[in-house]
Amino acid sequence: MDCSPLNITSFGKALQIRGPTIYRWYRDVLSDYAKDKNVMHKHDVERAKGQTIEIPILEEKNFGDKMSIDEKHIGEDLCTIISNRNTGKIAMICKSIVFSEIKEVLHPHEQLLQKIKSITRDFSSLYEKVCTELMPNAIHIGDKFHVIRNLMDAHQAVRIRYRQKELEKRRKAHREFKDAEHERLLDCERAGTRFIAGRFHYKEERMTNGETLLEILSRSRYLLFKYPDQWRPTQNKRALVLFSAYPEIEKTYTLCCQFRTLLSQKNIGNHYFQIDKQFHEWYEDAENADIEELLNFKSLVETNEEIIINYFLEGETNATAESINSKIQKFITSNCGTRDKDFFYFRLANYYA
C-alpha cells in the first residue's frame, strides 16, 4: 500500500479483513503517517487576519528546469498544482487560485523558481501572472492540448447551434399542435360533442443514410473529432449528408483539420517566420469563413500567439500536468472521495511527490 495507490478497504477484503479495520490499522499503526507524529502532513502559511493558506504538498526536490502549472478540483477545493515535466512528480499543491496567496507560498523558494527554464500552462490570466512575476527566467509555452480543446469546443458549438435550431422547429410544431387541439376542444364544447384528444407526431424527413437531420446532428459528435481517413463507412455516409445539409459545419471542419495539422509534430523545429506565416494564413481563412464560433477561437489564439508558437521550439506540452490530474482523479474515485483529507494528501504525496 506504500507503493501503489490502491483502495485500502478492497485490499482488506482480499485478505478477508473488514475494510474499516485495515484502513484504521494502516493509518494509525503501519504507515509513516502514524509513526512520526511530528511530521507535517500539511504545510500552512499564516496570513494577516488569522487566515491560513493550506499547502498539502510542497517538495523542493521536485522543482526543476522544466515545470508545468494547472488547476484541479480535489474534493470541494480548487487547487493549484505545479509539477515537474521531467520526473512527473508533484512539486506543490496549494489550495488557492488567488495570485497573492500563491505568491506568498512560493516567495520563500525564489531561488528554485529562478532556475525554471520553461513552464507549460493554459491561457488563464492567473497563471500568466504567476509565471511572469514569480518565474522570471522561464519561457511560457501555451499548452497544445488546451488549444485543440478550445478549437474542438468551437467546432462542436456550431453543430450544437444547428441541433438547437432543429429542436426549435419541433418545439414550435408541438406548440402549434397544442393550440390547434385547444381550439378543437373549444369547438367540441360549443357543439356539445365528445372531444377525443389527438396524439402529437412530428414527421421528419429521412435522409439518404436513413437518419433524420436531428439524429445526424446528434450522432456526428465523434466523427468531427477524427480526420476523414479515420472515418468508418457509416460515419463517412453520415458526414456526407451532414455537410450537404449544413455547409457551415463543413467549412468549420475543414478549418479545424487545417489548424490541427498546423499544430502537428512535423512543424516542430521550423523557423518562427514560417510558423507565423501559416498562422496568419489560417487567420485569413477563418475571417473569410465568417463563422462566429471560429472567430472567437481565432481571437483566443491571436491573444496568446506568442506562447502558442513557443510549442514549436521543442514540442513541449502540459501532458505531464494533465496526466497527474488524471491520476489524482482515479485515486479519488478508487478511494471513494477525500473524507479523511490529511491522510488522503499524505498518501497522495507518497505516490506522486
pLDDT digits (tens, 9 = 90+) for 249-291: 999 999 999 999 999 888 888 888 999 999 999 999 999 999 9
Percent of the chain beyond pLDDT 70?
94
Q: What is the 3-state secondary structure (H, E, C) of 249-260?
A: HHHHHHHHHHHH
Dump pLDDT digits (tens) for 15-31: 777 877 877 777 777 77
d(CA 324, CA 90): 8
Is residue 35 very low, low, confident or very high in pLDDT (cuts 50, 70, 90)? Answer: low
Is residue 40 very low, low, confident or very high in pLDDT (cuts 50, 70, 90)? Answer: very low
Q: Is the pLDDT of residue 90 over 50?
A: yes
Dump pLDDT digits (tens) for 226-248: 999 999 999 999 999 999 999 99
Q: Is the pLDDT of residue 37 over 70?
A: no
Is residue 38 very low, low, confident or very high in pLDDT (cuts 50, 70, 90)? Answer: very low
d(CA 153, CA 291): 14
Return the C-alpha cell found at 242: 451532414
HSE-up of 252 (CA within 13 Å, CB side)? 29
Q: Where exactly does CATH 3.30.420.10 map onto the chain?
A: 40-141+317-352
Dump pLDDT digits (tens) for 43-65: 666 665 667 888 888 888 999 99
Please name the residue that has the C-alpha cell 483539420: 257
Q: Kind and range of the H or E element at 92?
A: strand 90-94
The pLDDT of residue 260? 93
Please state the CATH superfamily assignment of the domain spanning residues 40-141+317-352 in this structure: Ribonuclease H-like superfamily/Ribonuclease H (3.30.420.10)
Q: Kind and range of the H or E element at 162?
A: helix 144-191
pTM: 0.82
Q: What does the angle CA 213 – CA 217 – CA 221 come to, to the nearest 5 degrees?
A: 160
End-to-end CA distance of the chain: 15
Return the C-alpha cell found at 208: 439518404
Dump pLDDT digits (tens) for 298-311: 999 999 999 999 99
Q: Which of 1-5, 10-14, 44-48, 264-268 has the highest average model confidence (pLDDT)? A: 264-268
Contact by Cβ (8 Å): 351, 5: yes
d(CA 101, CA 232): 51
Once rounded to an integer, what is the mean pLDDT over residues 107-117?
Answer: 90
Q: Is the pLDDT of residue 39 over 50?
A: no
Q: Is the pLDDT of residue 352 over 60?
A: yes
Give CA separation, 345 vs 35, 106, 327, 350, in Å. 16, 19, 13, 9
**Tally: H helices and E strands in the chain:** 16, 8
Once rounded to an integer, what is the mean pLDDT over residues 131-154?
Answer: 92
The pLDDT of residue 1? 66
Is residue 6 very low, low, confident or very high in pLDDT (cuts 50, 70, 90)? Answer: confident
Once rounded to an integer, what is the mean pLDDT over residues 213-233?
Answer: 93
Once rounded to an integer, what is the mean pLDDT over residues 334-346?
Answer: 76
Q: What is the mean pLDDT of the chain?
A: 87
